[in-house]
Chain A
């Protein structure tokens, strides 16, 4: 198993929102759900390589800012045109107010 990487403080992400996290030349998106849980996915939309962190989180959906492609950020499942390729997800844990991601 790969290491847990410290990504940000839990308070850096608003409830039902997303931020960008870059690490080792890769880009990711970190989410805080309305239920106050944390999730991580690849940072770019599978349709046209757009940063999802500028998109809108609604419930368990992240919507791409460019063409409104939708994914369930908890599972990575593509949820409608124009996206048809799922998003990769990563394990997340919160410890002492810090968000950690396991980037395989």
Chain B
């Protein structure tokens, strides 16, 4: 009798993989091991809608229990794997029991990078899980002062949510500007202005010298000598892949669990996918990347599932990412740092798109920002052009009157 498919990690990636196995017609056992007690849920709303919608945020489940059961997906919640026995194809679970596998998928995700300074305490928090979101929500109210350490997406989305709820917000960023990693300066400037117009105070280019958390408030001393006092400090300084299990099992690591283009680890019976793995991106000549993005987690989950069933399919996607802050939505397709020059396309209502091209004219990324979903369609079309390694006409890219769709036919 077959041991079945085991997936460690019940986030977006692992859950998608479980359903994809069924969509592919797999009939054996599918076990989804999740560290949290909740049903699999969507993380993107935690910093945004879920935070502002009500005083007690609710979970947006990826699937309810009935749908899991209908697809015969066995969810082991509040459970984790403590070791992998590769020789016997078996994992040990946190309750001490063993679970055999035919193929194993490690989708353990990422965890917040910790601020390594003395003086951090109960008023210094991170956001990754729904329970984290619940704890943070309790502090967001009119008159509260929230310090956000790190001007990345999590920090900025939380800054917007905190302002909507009437809290005073100070964002502290060690780099000279917010969103240094992966977002062009022109786009980051629009985000910065939107926050400033909403009353967020920014301190950029200033490192933290010391933190003093006495359990009722936090005092953050900056390198410049200035100090920020807050009721709560939310730390959003990036995420690191969860690799301890893979490392102990002797799987090859390289900025996360190293997988090939089929998401296979150094053990042919073990796959890794989502935020915990680095993989070669074909669209950039095999450049190895690790992504922390919702859609790539889904695509990885589906691809890993197909390859667990022997599809031998390679990853062919283009990274895609979005963030919502106030009424603005930002979307990025591809990795802008691949670009050597940019072409700007201005749309209605202040929305614009930057096309990032190589010197030879190949489109490698597109980034855009605007109200609502103003940039969505053009970013999506740009993504399709990037996937084709297209060399689009530069005048057409710059002219909003030219439909990008027409360039796809070229």
Query: Within the assembled complex, what's the spacing in Å between the Cα atoms of A68 and B19?
Result: 18
- Interface flags for A15-37 (1: CB within 8 Å of B; 0: not) read 01000000000000000000000
Instruction: From A2-10, A51-59, A87-95, give the one contacting chain B.
Output: A51-59
Q: Is B141 an interface residue (CB 8 A)?
A: no
The answer to whether A54 touches B380, judged by C-beta atoms less than 8 angstroms apart, is: no
Q: Is B113 an interface residue (CB 8 A)?
A: no
The answer to whether A54 touches B295, judged by C-beta atoms less than 8 angstroms apart, is: no
The answer to whether B377 touches A82, judged by C-beta atoms less than 8 angstroms apart, is: no
Q: Is B314 an interface residue (CB 8 A)?
A: no
Q: Is B372 an interface residue (CB 8 A)?
A: yes
Complex: chain A residue closest to B322, CB-CB = A66
Q: Which one of A54, A67, A68, A84 lies within 8 Å of B372 (CB-CB)?
A: A54
Q: Of B19, B63, B376, B381, which is in contact with the most chain A CB atoms at under 10 Å from its CB?
A: B376
The answer to whether B376 touches A66, judged by C-beta atoms less than 8 angstroms apart, is: yes
Q: Which one of A16, A54, A81, A84 lies within 8 Å of B376 (CB-CB)?
A: A54
The answer to whether A54 touches B298, judged by C-beta atoms less than 8 angstroms apart, is: no
Q: Is B16 an interface residue (CB 8 A)?
A: yes
Q: Which one of A50, A65, A84 lies within 8 Å of B377 (CB-CB)?
A: A65
- Interface flags for A40-67 (1: CB within 8 Å of B; 0: not) read 0000000000110011100000010111
Query: Within the assembled complex, what's the spacing in Å between the Cα atoms of A51 and B376?
Result: 11
- Interface flags for B1-35 (1: CB within 8 Å of A; 0: not) read 00000000000000010010000000000000000
B107 to chain A, nearest CB (A): 15
Q: A56-B380, A56-B381, A81-B298 are in contact. Are A51 and B373 (CB under 8 A)?
A: yes
Chain B residues near A81 (CB-CB < 8 A): 16, 19, 298, 302
Q: A56-B381, A81-B16, A84-B67 are in contact. Are A65 and B298 (CB under 8 A)?
A: no
How many residue pairs link A and B with beta carbons under 8 A? The number is 36
Q: Which one of A16, A50, A82, A84 lies within 8 Å of B373 (CB-CB)?
A: A50
The answer to whether B295 touches A67, judged by C-beta atoms less than 8 angstroms apart, is: yes
Query: Within the assembled complex, what's the spacing in Å between the Cα atoms of A84 and B320?
Result: 21
Which residues of B (50-65) have their CB < 8 Å from a CB of A? Answer: 62-63
Query: Within the assembled complex, what's the spacing in Å between the Cα atoms of A51 and B377?
Result: 12
Which residues of B (249-284) have their CB < 8 Å from a CB of A? Answer: none
Query: Within the assembled complex, what's the spacing in Å between the Cα atoms of A29 and B16?
Result: 28
Query: Within the assembled complex, what's the spacing in Å between the Cα atoms of A51 and B63?
Result: 23
Chain B residues near A56 (CB-CB < 8 A): 377, 380-381, 405
A46 to chain B, nearest CB (A): 13
The answer to whether A54 touches B373, judged by C-beta atoms less than 8 angstroms apart, is: yes
Complex: chain A residue closest to B44, CB-CB = A67
Q: Of A51, A55, A67, A81, which is in contact with the most chain B CB atoms at under 10 Å from its CB?
A: A81
Chain B residues near A68 (CB-CB < 8 A): 295, 320, 380
- Interface flags for A67-97 (1: CB within 8 Å of B; 0: not) read 1100000000000011010000000000000
Chain A residues near B295 (CB-CB < 8 A): 67-68
Query: Within the assembled complex, what's the spacing in Å between the Cα atoms of A10 and B232?
Result: 56
Query: Within the assembled complex, what's the spacing in Å between the Cα atoms of A82 and B45?
Result: 14
The answer to whether A54 touches B377, judged by C-beta atoms less than 8 angstroms apart, is: yes
Query: Within the assembled complex, what's the spacing in Å between the Cα atoms of A81 and B23?
Result: 11
- Interface flags for B351-393 (1: CB within 8 Å of A; 0: not) read 0000000000000000000001110110011000000000000
The answer to whether B376 touches A55, judged by C-beta atoms less than 8 angstroms apart, is: yes
Residues of B within 8 A of A (CB): 16, 19, 42, 62-63, 67, 294-295, 298, 302, 320, 322, 372-374, 376-377, 380-381, 405
Extra A-B contacts (19), CB below 8 Å, given A54-B374, A67-B294: A16-B405, A50-B373, A51-B373, A54-B372, A54-B376, A54-B377, A56-B377, A56-B381, A63-B380, A65-B373, A65-B376, A65-B380, A66-B322, A68-B295, A68-B380, A81-B16, A81-B298, A81-B302, A82-B42
